């Protein structure tokens, strides 16, 4: 007995709509019982059956994130937003409350900086009023560190007030100056980042930063 695509398709037509698992099992039984009787001109049927008879482990869909993983992602997304709202607004008191005294900041071009105060001084002297950070949509990844906290990965852009035209979402991030009269237009900066967050009874604290691929 030969099996064709029409026969496989006929299963859908003559049978009531079963749950997906039952339908998959039915198609597998059809393929398993007739696979060796398939003619070589029924290539589409062979391909379909080959797929259906693969080990189940190879056909598994990626696991759906658990509630804890989803909650962790939401928590880190929230503290990321809070951290850079403070940085964009030059709120050094708030910024200082979110980073560890022994913060280690690794920058692929500037090198290593250790300590909260050096970090705050750097923000005050180099980025306050001259740079606005934007998280690239869809780039954020979050992974748990058992018994400690979380790893945050992503890509962000750096905009320059007074040296760029208005862009969507700019005002929401605190940018209010757009291409000052006579000012040169600067390119938008971009880099990848890795943050390590510690969680304790106080909340989330940033302890390590790696900024790279500028």
CB contact at 8 A, 164 and 214: no
* Phi–psi pair at 155, nearest 5 degrees: -125, 135
Confidence of residue 15 (pLDDT cuts 50, 70, 90): very low
The residues near 129 (Cβ < 8 Å, ≥ 6 apart) are 90, 161
pLDDT on residue 106: 98
Q: 44 or 198, which is more confident?
A: 198
Mean per-residue pLDDT, 83-106: 97
CA distance 155 to 68: 24
Confidence of residue 171 (pLDDT cuts 50, 70, 90): confident
Q: 65 or 177, which is more confident?
A: 177
On the question of pLDDT at 14 being above 80, the answer is no
CA distance 67 to 112: 36
Greatest Cα pair distance, the chain, in angstroms, is: 81
pLDDT on residue 131: 92
Confidence of residue 32 (pLDDT cuts 50, 70, 90): low
CA distance readout (Å), 32 to 41, 61, 143, 201:
18, 23, 41, 58
CATH, range 67-212: 3.10.450.50
CA distance 5 to 76: 49
pLDDT on residue 18: 46
Q: Which residues make up the CATH 3.10.450.50 domain(s) of the chain?
A: 67-212
């Amino acid at each position: 007995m030969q099996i064709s695509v029409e026969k496989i398709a006929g299963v859908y037509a003559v049978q009531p709509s079963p749950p997906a698992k039952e339908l998959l099992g039915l198609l597998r039984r059809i393929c398993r019982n007739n696979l060796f009787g398939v003619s070589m001109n029924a290539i589409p049927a062979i391909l379909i059956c080959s797929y259906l008879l693969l080990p189940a482990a190879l056909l598994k869909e990626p696991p759906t994130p658990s509630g804890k993983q989803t909650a962790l992602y939401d928590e880190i997304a929230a503290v990321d937003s809070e951290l850079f709202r403070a940085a964009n607004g030059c709120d050094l008191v708030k910024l200082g409350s979110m980073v560890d005294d022994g913060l280690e900041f690794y920058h692929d071009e500037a090198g290593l900086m250790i300590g909260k105060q050096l970090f705050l001084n750097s923000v005050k002297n180099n980025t306050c009023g001259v740079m606005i950070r934007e998280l690239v949509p869809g780039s954020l990844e979050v992974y748990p560190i058992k018994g400690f906290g979380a790893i945050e990965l992503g890509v962000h852009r750096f905009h320059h007030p007074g040296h760029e035209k208005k862009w969507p979402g700019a005002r929401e991030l605190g940018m209010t100056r757009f291409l000052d009269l006579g000012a040169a237009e600067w390119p938008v900066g971009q880099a990848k980042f890795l943050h390590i967050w510690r969680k304790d009874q106080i909340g989330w604290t940033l302890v390590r930063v790696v900024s790279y691929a500028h």
